Structure 1
Amino acid sequence: MSSRFVFILAFIAIFFAAVSFLVNRPAPVITGQTPAPKEVAEPVSLWVAGETISPKQPVSSQLLVRKAFDAKQANMMGFTSNQSLDWHAGALFTASIKAGEVVRQNHIINPDAPDYIDWIITVGHVAYPLELPSESPMLVNLTVGDHIDIVTLTSPQRNLAEEEVSKAFRTLQVAPLLSYCKVLAVKAAGKNAQGQPTASAIVVELSRQQVAKLLVAKRVGDIEIFRSAGIVNAEQTQAETRDVLSGHLSVTELRGVARPASSPR
């Protein structure tokens, strides 16, 4: 056997041995590493209606409930993080919402919204502005949605509307003019010495007949505004001078008093 033939056989044997080694070599073992855990999205907290809500119903935390939603479900509703709602005193709901439905920000209108008065006012009524004097008790803690009463101070003998300070106390009369008028807006003026919020003007909801009565009252006498205690009897807000000054008699009453008989000379 020639050396050339032996060389070829050796080469072939070495080649097949190399191939067999590469094919049967065990896979390397990686130590010290653990598979990364799959990320689980946290639930998203949303506001839902705790009961059926009607339009123009005042917003209250008692009507809203926090509920956790799956992140995927919340994303489909347009939420990627926990929901927050912004509302102030006097805020109202603008739509009907069924119990369990998500309450969105556009379901709420706040008193500072430009169209709040147009949206809340009763059909057939008007928004009437009233300035408040600095000494008025109405300046303390008045908010949108409160109600006010208006009374008039008049005299059949004088036009009190033309006097800054009334000098005539005879025949003064106080009578109710308007009762339980809803406040639509409050213009803040700051805070008083006790730190309570005060107002310099308000906007109230009046019918056209109420506006006419108020215009006449402002021309013939003084008007006073105070927080309403509800619908009360008119007699509870009526008074005359004689109710304050004991023994006071008006001119009309003096004319009806009999003159004492003169003694004979």
Structure 2
Amino acid sequence: MKTKLIIAIATLAIAIGLYGLLTEAPPATEIKVTEIVVEEHKIKVWFLRNDVKRGQLVERSDFSIRQLPESEANALGIANESNMNFDKGSVYNRELTVQSAVFPEYITATNDLEYVELVLAENRVPFVIQVDPDVIIGGVIGHGSYVDVLAIANGGSKVSFNSDELSRPQFKSISVSPVLIGVKVLTIQQGTMSGGRNNSDVTSTVLVLELTRKQVAKLTVAKRIADLEVHKSIGSYNAADLSADAGDVLADYKAIKEFRANKIIIN
């Protein structure tokens, strides 16, 4: 009897175990969570590829461009993208080191008020001279060009006649001679003023030249006594190549030369 009871209990335990195995709950469905990554907005930033000095010309090759995350750009003080000024003649207005971020305010254009001071060499003076606007046409003379300044005079005074009057004998010594050779043009400025024929507007073009004190004095006198012409310099040459008089133009013109004795002898 006791044996039958043990067998019954064992059978019941086995049955319960089998039932538990057969009715085991299915495994929970795995839920995949996809992480959504929001890409940070990027800003274009300009960096220097080499050191630059104050007054140095700006070249496109000076820069490299990087796309920085907005947070990194903000850390550099940059909130929005900016474009660099590559106008011809523009210069840096401060000294900067390689890999520095560059801002538009670090660059000075030729029409800015401080430009002349930035490009002016040591112990030089800026000097303004008005020129014929036609000289600038076609880029003949530009920022940084070198020019020759010539004086056209008639016997020590400004020429005030037209070409038809050249045959008159009263014009004895029309001449062209160099005043300055190979001086640098710092900048070109153009404007409009009234006073032309029929009160029409006239385009005024001026060059700002870089001169020594002595050259300033010489050119100031030349402006008073002669008409001035400005031409692009073509390099080293003899000053005599820039000199001429009426005899070089008119084959039958005989210029009058005055000879004076340097001593007086009384017998």
How far the C-alpha of 1:48 sits from its partner, in A, is: 1.4
How far the C-alpha of 1:64 sits from its partner, in A, is: 1.6
Partner Cα separation in structure 2 for residue 209 and residue 68 of structure 1: 52
Q: 1:244 and 1:211, CA in 2 relative to 1: closer, same or farther beyond 3 A?
A: same
After superposition, the CA RMSD in angstroms is: 3.4
CA contact (8 A) 2:151 2:177 kept: yes
Q: 1:236 and 1:126, CA in 2 relative to 1: closer, same or farther beyond 3 A?
A: same
229, 233, 236: which is aligned to 1:228? Answer: 233
CA contact (8 A) 1:139 1:199 kept: no
CA contact (8 A) 1:171 1:250 kept: yes
How far the C-alpha of 1:231 sits from its partner, in A, is: 4.2
Instruction: Say which SS state the counterpart of residue 182 (structure 2) adopts.
Output: strand
Partner Cα separation in structure 2 for residue 88 and residue 34 of structure 1: 54
Instruction: Say which SS state the counterpart of residue 210 (structure 1) adopts.
Output: helix
How far the C-alpha of 1:66 sits from its partner, in A, is: 1.5
Q: 1:90 and 1:173, CA in 2 relative to 1: closer, same or farther beyond 3 A?
A: same
The TM-score normalised by the length of structure 2 is 0.67
Instruction: Say which SS state the counterpart of residue 257 (structure 2) adopts.
Output: helix
Q: 1:164 and 1:185, CA in 2 relative to 1: closer, same or farther beyond 3 A?
A: farther
| 1:174 equivalenced with 2:150 (yes/no) | no
CA contact (8 A) 1:152 1:177 kept: yes
CA contact (8 A) 1:138 1:225 kept: no
CA contact (8 A) 2:130 2:204 kept: no
Q: Gaps spanning 5+ residues in structure 2: where?
A: 1-28, 193-202, 259-267
Q: 1:252 and 1:202, CA in 2 relative to 1: closer, same or farther beyond 3 A?
A: closer
209, 215, 237: which is aligned to 2:214? Answer: 209
Deviation per CA, 1:208-251: give whole Å up to 9, x if none: 21121112212222211122323433133122322222354322
Q: Gaps spanning 5+ residues in structure 1: where?
A: 1-28, 191-197, 254-265
Which one-letter code corresponds to 1:205 in the other structure? E
What's the % identity of the aligned pairs? 22
Which one-letter code corresponds to 1:180 in the other structure? G
CA contact (8 A) 2:90 2:108 kept: yes
Q: Which residue of 1 aligns with 2:151?
A: 152
Which one-letter code corresponds to 2:176 in the other structure? V
Which one-letter code corresponds to 2:135 in the other structure? P
Q: Which range is displaced more, 165-174 or 107-116?
A: 165-174
Partner Cα separation in structure 2 for residue 140 and residue 150 of structure 1: 19
CA contact (8 A) 1:152 1:217 kept: yes
Q: Which residue of 1 aligns with 2:131?
A: 132
Q: 1:145 and 1:252, CA in 2 relative to 1: closer, same or farther beyond 3 A?
A: closer
How far the C-alpha of 1:41 sits from its partner, in A, is: 1.0
Partner Cα separation in structure 1 for residue 47 and residue 237 of structure 2: 39
How far the C-alpha of 1:139 sits from its partner, in A, is: 4.8
How far the C-alpha of 1:165 sits from its partner, in A, is: 4.0
Partner Cα separation in structure 1 for residue 47 and residue 175 of structure 2: 54
Instruction: Say which SS state the counterpart of residue 218 (structure 1) adopts.
Output: helix
